[in-house]
Amino acid sequence: MQKKSIALSLLIAMLVTLIALRAPTARADDGVSGEFFADALAPYGEWINVEGYGGCWHPTKVDCDWAPYTDGSWAYTNAGWTWASYEDFGLVVYHYGRWMQVQGQGWCWVPGYEWAPAWVSWRSNADAIGWAPLPPEARWQGEIGISVWVDTAYDIGPGSYNFCHIRDFGAPLLRGVMINREENFTLISTTTNITNITYNNFGGNRVVFNGGPSFTAVSAVVTHPIPTLTLVQQRQFNAGQLHAGGAGALIASRTVGNQLIVAAPSVSAPTDPNFFTAKATKTVPAGKVMKGWEGIKDPASRQQLKQKIQAQTKGLSPETTHAHVVAAAELQAVPSNTKPAEVVPSVGTPRVTNSKPATPPAAAVTKPAVPAVPAAGAQIFPRVTPPVEKPVEKPVAGPGTEARKPTTPTAEIPPAKKEVEVPPAKKEPPVPPASKEPEATPAKKPATPEKAAVRPAPTPHATPREESHPAHPTPSPGGKGKKGSPTPAKD
């Protein structure tokens, strides 16, 4: 009996061990560890330690004017406004985590673990739309969401916003149509906050909904149509495809018919809380963090603008006002007739199932720097060289171009002005008379004075024009200044 008891105990222990060993494998199938961020971002920037925030990442292959959520475009899905990036690191930094500006470092990304179509604050007026990356202070609480109080609650200043005219909001590459940031301090005072980030529970697939501008209102004004797609999240993820080349390369997002398929793995925080800090190459004091108010030097003006933004919220706060639930009307533009059979392609191997081939971006537009509007079957997040290396879309004629204009047509200007006949009447007879031929001149004098009387006075520029236009004959004072004249015959 005792032996049976021991055997049973051993069997139970073995079963418990097997269950414990299998549990991590099951979790790994559902998502990845936060260490995935370090691998994904390693080729494109560096990690720094910002005091009070921990390990942060910032891109190193961008110019000084670069800002998040600019090198790409917006699409509208059942998750609201979804950012489509053209940057290789866009898979991570625009759908997880937060952003902040650090003096001397530029924009820095702080890791986060909740996926969203974009983490931004929205502002608008009758002519412009603006969006700003959410700062680390804007922690996600699903039961509260993020609403119109976001600028005041988390101190988002004018310098953090990207503004464009509403008509340009559908542009395939928004960075090329952004309003100069110097205008932000005026725009921030004439716009109001329209942010509404919450959960969308429609269709049984709970997803963070990035609400902002009304799709119906915006789509009636934009010059480029805004893609409307059904979002399909791929939670299972193969991190080994991150930097693979060729057909095995990871594609962050692609369209299949009217569906937007995105790589959106579930990410858990690293087991080591100092994992990202340990990767930092330097430490930056917390005082270097900027909030977007640095462009307003006058403290009184800065405070006045803050008070105006505060008044716009009408006393609303995270404690008193939650983000409103998604209304059915907000999803009317999103296609509902999706075909599950077309949503099967594995990560990294896009398969276009529509009958119409996708138009290559370069052939769809006249400006090589601006990607084409995504067509059915085209990639939304193509792996391309970051747009900062692309040529300027609109070449502007510089001073050098104008300077070359007069040099080419000068040979044709004199005939148009009919000044070819003016030089002959320039009373230059004093030069030929030096050949001492008074006898030949009187015979032809009657015709010459009449022409000289009606012609304008000689100008100093006449002689060069005669030399440059030999095709136009110029009579001599005696009427025979050409070859074979009687003057040389007398000599």
Q: Strand ranges (DSSP E) for 182-279?
A: 192-193, 196-200, 207-211, 230-234, 253-256, 259-263, 266-268
Work out the average pLDDT over 206-216: 95
pLDDT at position 81 over 90: yes
pLDDT at position 486 over 60: no
Compare 8 and 309 and report the one with higher pLDDT. Answer: 309
pLDDT at position 76 over 50: yes
Quote the pLDDT of residue 249: 53
Quote the pLDDT of residue 389: 41
Residue position matching structure tokens 């309003």: 179
Question: What pTM, to 2 d.p., does this model score?
Answer: 0.66
Compare 205 and 487 and report the one with higher pLDDT. Answer: 205
pLDDT at position 227 over 60: yes
pLDDT band at 2 (very low <50, low <70, confident <90, very high): low
pLDDT at position 88 over 60: yes
Quote the pLDDT of residue 337: 72
Work out the average pLDDT over 24-36: 59
| CA 242/CA 36 separation, integer angstroms | 9
Q: Which of 133-147, 191-205, 245-259, 434-448 is predicted least confidently?
A: 434-448
pLDDT at position 422 over 90: no
| CA 381/CA 253 separation, integer angstroms | 5
Helix (H, G, I), strand (E, B) or coil at 31: strand
Q: Which residues contact 407 (CB under 8 A, 6 or more apart)?
A: none
Quote the pLDDT of residue 186: 94
Quote the pLDDT of residue 347: 29
Quote the pLDDT of residue 214: 96
| CA 31/CA 2 separation, integer angstroms | 45
Work out the average pLDDT over 266-273: 92
pLDDT at position 62 over 70: yes
| CA 361/CA 173 separation, integer angstroms | 12
pLDDT tens, residue by residue, 301-359: 999 999 999 999 999 999 999 999 999 999 999 998 765 444 333 323 332 333 333 33
Q: Which residues contact 382 (CB under 8 A, 6 or more apart)?
A: 86, 251, 361, 371
How is residue 374 written in tokens? 């995504």
pLDDT band at 69 (very low <50, low <70, confident <90, very high): very high
pLDDT at position 177 over 80: yes
pLDDT band at 401 (very low <50, low <70, confident <90, very high): very low
Q: What percent of the chain has pLDDT over 90?
A: 51
Report long-range pairs for 386-393 (Cβ below 8 Å, ≥24 apart). Answer: 386/61, 386/62, 386/71, 386/86, 386/87, 386/88, 387/71, 387/86, 387/87, 387/173, 387/175, 388/61, 388/62, 388/63, 388/66, 388/71, 393/173, 393/176, 393/367, 393/369
Quote the pLDDT of residue 145: 97
Work out the average pLDDT over 91-96: 94
pLDDT at position 397 over 50: no
Q: Which residues contact 93 (CB under 8 A, 6 or more apart)?
A: 41, 57, 68, 99, 109
Quote the pLDDT of residue 15: 55
pLDDT at position 20 over 50: no
Helix (H, G, I), strand (E, B) or coil at 123: strand
Q: Which residues contact 349 (CB under 8 A, 6 or more apart)?
A: 247, 248
pLDDT band at 4 (very low <50, low <70, confident <90, very high): low
